[in-house]
């Protein structure tokens, strides 16, 4: 494993995911969330939990990139996009469906997440595939 490129790639994926999630939830899903405000923390209280969000994104980015390095095949950006799609479907789509069964989320939220998360993860995969290269033998 090339630890330097893994760390740089993980930090790049972290920044990307943090920004992409912000854009996704504010501009794409925002109108849907406005319709069911009672299911969300208010903006005033949300800031109290930002550290947990940052920690979650760090864990996601470093874990995502670590798993990518373990199956790395040196097949270019397409490999990363494919990996991101698999992760997006396996974790995000499944979690969205499970949460829909447990929490009273509107269907529009779940549909948005099922479409949006795999796309975001495919782009995250493209980022790590572009940055990561193993150590030369």
Number of domains the chain contains: 1
Residue 110 lies in a domain: yes
List CB contacts of 134: < 8 A, sequence separation 6 or more. Answer: 1, 2, 69, 72, 74
User: Is this structure's pTM higher than 0.95?
Assistant: no
pLDDT, tens only, 14-51: 999 999 999 999 899 888 887 877 777 667 666 788 89
Has residue 137 been placed in a domain? no
What contacts 86, CB < 8 A, 6 or more positions away? none
Q: Is residue 136 part of a domain?
A: no
Kindly state whether residue 22 falls inside one of the protein's structural domains: yes
Show the domain range for 125. Answer: 3-131
């Amino acid at each position: 494993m090339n630890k330097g490129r893994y760390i740089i790639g993980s930090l790049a994926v972290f920044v990307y995911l943090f920004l992409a999630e912000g854009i996704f939830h504010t501009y794409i899903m925002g109108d849907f969330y406005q319709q069911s405000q009672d299911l969300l923390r208010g903006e005033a209280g949300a800031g109290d939990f930002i550290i947990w969000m940052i920690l979650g994104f760090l864990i996601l980015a470093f874990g995502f990139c670590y798993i990518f390095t373990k199956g790395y095949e040196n097949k270019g950006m397409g490999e990363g996009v494919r990996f991101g799609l698999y992760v997006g479907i396996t974790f995000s789509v499944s979690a969205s469906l499970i949460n829909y069964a447990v929490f009273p989320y509107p269907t529009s939220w779940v549909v948005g997440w099922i479409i949006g998360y795999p796309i975001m993860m495919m782009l995250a995969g493209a980022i790590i595939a572009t940055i990561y290269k193993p150590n030369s033998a």
